[in-house]
Amino acid sequence: EASIQTIRKSISETENALNENNNRKKKLSDSIAVFNTKISEINNVVGKQLFAKSVSADDVRYGRINIDEIINTVRDYANKVDKINAERTAECDNIKNSLKEKEEQCEYLKKGLAILEGNYKRGYDLLAKFYADKGIDEEPKMLYQFLDIEKKNAKRWQQPIESMLGAARFNFIVEPEYFQDVFNLLKTSKLSGVSLINSCMFNTDKPCQKDSVCSLITFSNKYAERYIKNRFGDVIAVDKFSTELDPSKRYLCGDGTTSFKGSVTPYSKKVNLYIGADARQETCEKLTEEIQKDKDKMLKLKSLINRGTTLKESLSIFLSKLMAFDKNCNIVFCDKLKR
């Protein structure tokens, strides 16, 4: 009878061990199933294929992969999700700052002003204060505000002309009586790159060469007109560059190529267009399109960041369960299954 009791006890212990082991295996299978559902989500949020294939519960059960490997993998990619989320948050912040600048720039354009940055903006503010202190009821003016290009020529010549003028478009123009005071103000302020057209010097009209780019431009200020004609009156407008052009003369080509006394620049970087109300409107419309694209991109990034945050939280919970499972069940794999 004692032997029967011993056998019954042994059978009972074995049954309990088997039941416990089956429960552990079920929990493991469930955990692995959860992990497999996360694989595509991780790859999707992170934006690259981090896991090549799913993990089978049998891989763990029969020693083909250790549960510690899964724990380390989950921890590693939870950290990667964190890192990518941080990068996306930084990118989102940059877009947000850029959006603010572009929206301010649009407001400038709507008021008929160019986009002013850095020292140009500081110079504008200085002159505005100078006028206010003098009781002059007007805003500071720059060269581009006194120029226009006829519509029939704008499509072909707007970009080449503005590229040729470059930063000169933002030269300030003041009446001769204020020139010396403004000159001293800008000199004292040490604003690098900010220029002032010498309205005292250009007191007579200078005839332009035939077919000069000046014939494509209209003027609403005599100092602006005299400056342009004095500086660019000998630049001849031609459709395209040719080696037959006179190397002793200056040319502006319709494709943006410049040939200034033998020195040829085949390409001119495209610039924002500010000469004429139509050009400023066009620049404003392009900027508005950029703003909308930036907003769409930021919304997409925010969505990815939110998904990444949710994923990280679920991975952390899953990781905690895996670690607890590994700690509590290690004896089942190492001991009881051997029986």
Each residue's pLDDT tens digit, 201-254 = 866 677 788 889 998 999 999 999 999 998 898 899 998 888 888 888 999 998
Residue 252, φ and ψ in degrees, nearest 5 = -120, 125
pLDDT at residue number 26: 66
If one compares 302 and 72, the residue with the highest pLDDT of the two is 302
Is pLDDT above 70 for 65? Answer: no
Residue 40, token pair as written in the block: 């595509």
Please tell me the distance from the alpha carbon of residue 22 to that of residue 15, in angstroms, as a whole number: 10
If one compares 141 and 205, the residue with the highest pLDDT of the two is 141
pTM over 0.85: no
Residues pairing with 172 in the sheet: 142, 196
First to last CA, the chain: 25
Is pLDDT above 50 for 58? Answer: yes
Q: Over the range 155-188, which residues count as b (16 or more CB within 10 Å of their CB) and which as e? A: eebbbbbbbbbeebbbbbbbeeebbeebeebbee
Region 123-131 average pLDDT: 91
pLDDT at residue number 339: 31
Region 183-195 average pLDDT: 89
pLDDT at residue number 22: 64
If one compares 38 and 257, the residue with the highest pLDDT of the two is 257
**Residue 1, helix vs strand vs coil:** coil
Is pLDDT above 60 for 29? Answer: yes
Specify the amino acid at residue 109.
Answer: L
Please tell me the distance from the alpha carbon of residue 24 to that of residue 325, in angstroms, as a whole number: 8
State CA 84 to chain mean position distance: 17
Residue with tokens 């900010």: 194
Closest CA to 114 of 150, 160, 185, 162: 162
pLDDT at residue number 148: 93
Please tell me the distance from the alpha carbon of residue 283 to that of residue 275, in angstroms, as a whole number: 10
| Sign of CA pseudo-dihedral 159, 160, 166, 169 | negative
Residue 293's contacts (CB-CB under 8 Å, 6 or more residues apart) are none
Q: What is the DSSP string of 33-66?
A: HHHHHHHHHHHHHHTS---SS---HHHHHTTSS-
State percent of the chain over pLDDT 70.
73
pLDDT at residue number 170: 92
pLDDT at residue number 338: 33
If one compares 60 and 317, the residue with the highest pLDDT of the two is 317
pLDDT in tens, 265-322: 887 778 888 898 888 888 889 899 999 999 999 999 999 899 888 888 877 877 776 6
DSSP character at residue 235 = E
pLDDT in tens, 205-214: 777 888 899 9
Residue 182, token pair as written in the block: 């403004």
Please tell me the distance from the alpha carbon of residue 11 to that of residue 127, in angstroms, as a whole number: 99
85 burial class (0-12, 13-18, 19+ CB within 10 angstroms)? buried
DSSP element (H, E) containing 182: helix 176-189
Is pLDDT above 70 for 330? Answer: no
Please state, rounded to an integer, the average pLDDT across all residues of the chain: 79
Residue 63, token pair as written in the block: 């020693």
Pairing status of strand 235-238 against strand 250-253: parallel
Q: What are the CA-CA distances from residue 111 to residues 6, 39, 106, 179 (Å)?
A: 99, 53, 9, 25
**Residue 148, helix vs strand vs coil:** strand
Is pLDDT above 60 for 334? Answer: no
